[in-house]
Structure 1
Amino acid sequence: MKTIETIATVTKDGKITAQLPLDIPEGEHQVVIVIDEKPLVEKLESKEKRPSLNFPVHNCGLCPENLSLRREDMYDDWGR
């Protein structure tokens, strides 16, 4: 038994088309289908309508050329 999560297309006449991995042998298979009630297109549209996040920006100027952020330069021999 294998679990496959993929996107399927449903036509007006109720037929479903889905892309499966190539390691599934051809022929008839018993499958279980779980359908989300909202089409994927509606979900994408709702994500686009959400406003972007507005994070604060602090401009501290340029860093000095001799600034070293190496651990050995930031901490003493005791690791503090």
Structure 2
Amino acid sequence: MKTIETIATVTADGKITVQLPPDIPAGEHRVVVMIDEQLLVEKSQTKEKRPPLDFPVHNCGPWPENLSLRREDMYDDWGR
């Protein structure tokens, strides 16, 4: 048994579409659908927009002019 929690959009005619992971084999399966009666639209309206992430920046200066990042230049004959 596998549990999948996702968000679905219910159309006016009462249909939903579900995208399953690729490891679920094709064929008939027993499926249980549980609907939370509170719409997600109400929750998203109260959410505040968060500021962008502020990652630290380390300035190490310019790269050397002769710097080569080719695999052949970085590793020896054994690929290490």
TM-score w.r.t. the length of structure 2 is: 0.53
Q: Which residue of 1 aligns with 2:26?
A: 26
In 2, Cα distance between equivalents of 1:25 and 1:4: 15
Higher relative contact order (CA 8 A, sep 6+): 1
- Runs of 4+ aligned structure 1 residues displaced above 4 Å come to none
Q: Which residue of 1 aligns with 2:47?
A: 47
Q: Deviations over 1:39-59 (max 9, x none)?
A: 2222111223xxx9xxxxxxx
User: Where in structure 1 are there 5+ consecutive unaligned residues?
Assistant: 53-80
Specify the SS of the correspondent of 2:47: helix
User: Where in structure 2 are there 5+ consecutive unaligned residues?
Assistant: 51-80
Q: Which residue of 2 aligns with 1:14?
A: 14
Alignment of 1:50-69 (within 5 A): none
Q: Deviations over 1:6-56 (max 9, x none)?
A: 1112111111112211111122211111111122222111223xxx9xxxx
Count of aligned pairs between the two proteins: 50
TM-score w.r.t. the length of structure 1 is: 0.53
Q: Which residue of 2 aligns with 1:71?
A: none
Greater radius of gyration (CA): 1
